[in-house]
Every structure is written in C-alpha cells, then in structure tokens.
Amino acid sequence: MAELVNDVLFLSELESGREVVALGRTEVRPVLEEVRARLADSAERAEISIRVEAEHGIELPLRRRMLQTIAENLAQNAIRYAGPGATVTLGAEAGVLRVSDDGRGVEEEELPRLFERFYRSDRARASRGTGLGLAIVKHVVTQSGGDVEARPGPGGLGLEVRCTFPR
C-alpha cells in the first residue's frame, strides 16, 4: 500500500510541474550500475540476470534522480514479468536509454497500453506492483522532451522499452 501511495504522489508531483525533470545532464553508466546492484537480490530470486551495456561518458538530459527512476522502474518491470532464465539488459547510447529482456514478452495488442496508469496485462494481474511504474516512466521521459516506445525485444523475444531524448 505504501508503494502505491508513493507512486501516486510522485506522479502527481510530476504532473503539477513541481519536479524539474530535465535540469542538467547525467552520465548514464554509473546510474545503470547502481540500479543493477540495487536490484540484484530481487533479480536473483526471480532467476533473472541483469547486465549493463553503456559506454562510459554517455550522458542524457535528465537529473540523476529522474534517470534513476526511469531505469529502476523499467528494470523492476522486466524482473517481474520476463520469467525465470531471462536476461535483462540496461543499455544506453547517444540520446537513448533502453531496457530489454529476452523473456516472455507482451502481446502485440497490449504494447500501446503498457504506459497507461494502472493498466495490467492478463499475465501481470497476478503479480505485485502498483501499475504506475511505466506511467511514471512515460511522464518523466515526455516532460524532458523525449519519447518512449515499447516493442518486441531483440530477435522478437521479450520486450524492449526505448526512451529517446533530444540531444
């Protein structure tokens, strides 16, 4: 319940404009490494491995907290739904943050709805979570002038979420 309340309050803050999302630039790799370390225990329990693919020096136009929020929400979502044996990749290149997995994936017709508040696919209804993580991701990315897209993962397996930002 506390997680739900915190997510709702954070989303409200973002919508009211009180949070400044794109204030400065943040190097991506250190943040992705921190997210991987923070989620290592939950990934291990879910039988998921996490890897980071980002060159040193790549920056995105976000405050550190906002970048951390995006990466953590996307990684938690992948850990929760990819399924045992999957690999979650936290990656970045110039102007792009991506989180992908080679797990179960999402039905094609559900992809456009993934970023709606409280939307839960049939497969996700039985698991924990507030249903707000991806809505928060979308809001942070769009407030920074970026776009977010969900599509089948590399090779048609799993799910990839790409957040593109202005350079």
Where residue 69 sits, what CATH number does that domain have? 3.30.565.10
Q: Which tokens hold the place of 138?
A: 């979308």
Containing structural domain, residue 49: 2-164
Looking at the structure of the chain, the number of domains it has is 1
What is the rounded distance in angstroms from the CA atom of residue 113 to the CA atom of residue 158? 16
| Residue 103 and residue 165 in contact, taking contact as beta carbons nearer than 8 Å | no
Lowest-confidence region among 31-35, 46-50, 53-57, 127-131: 127-131
Give pLDDT tens digits for 120-149.
Answer: 554 443 445 445 778 889 988 988 889 999
- Percent share of the chain, pLDDT over 90: 52
Q: What is the DSSP letter of 52?
A: E
Q: For residue 17, give the 3-state DSSP assignment.
A: coil
pLDDT (average), residues 70-80 = 94
Would you state the pLDDT for residue 17?
57
Q: What does the CA dihedral 79, 84, 90, 91 come to, rounded to 10 degrees?
A: -140
- Full DSSP string of 68-91: HHHHHHHHHHHHHHS-TT-EEEEE
pLDDT in tens, 105-126: 887 877 776 767 544 554 443 4
Q: Which residue has the higher pLDDT, 27 or 166?
A: 27
Checking if the pLDDT of 28 tops 80, the result is yes
Name the pLDDT band for 11 (thresholds 50, 70, 90): low
pLDDT for the residue 16: 56
DSSP 131: S
Residue type, 106: V
In 3D, which of 106, 93, 101, 111 has the Cα closest to residue 150? 111
Lowest mean pLDDT among 93-97, 130-134, 148-152: 130-134
Q: Which helix (H) or strand (E) holds 163?
A: strand 159-164
Alpha-carbon gap, residue 102 to 4, rounded angstroms: 28
Pick 106 or 90 by higher pLDDT.
Answer: 90
Flag whether pLDDT at 83 surpasses 70: yes
What pLDDT does 108 receive? 80
Instruction: Determine the Cα–Cα distance for residues 32 and 91; give it in Å rounded to an integer.
Output: 8
Residue type, 104: R
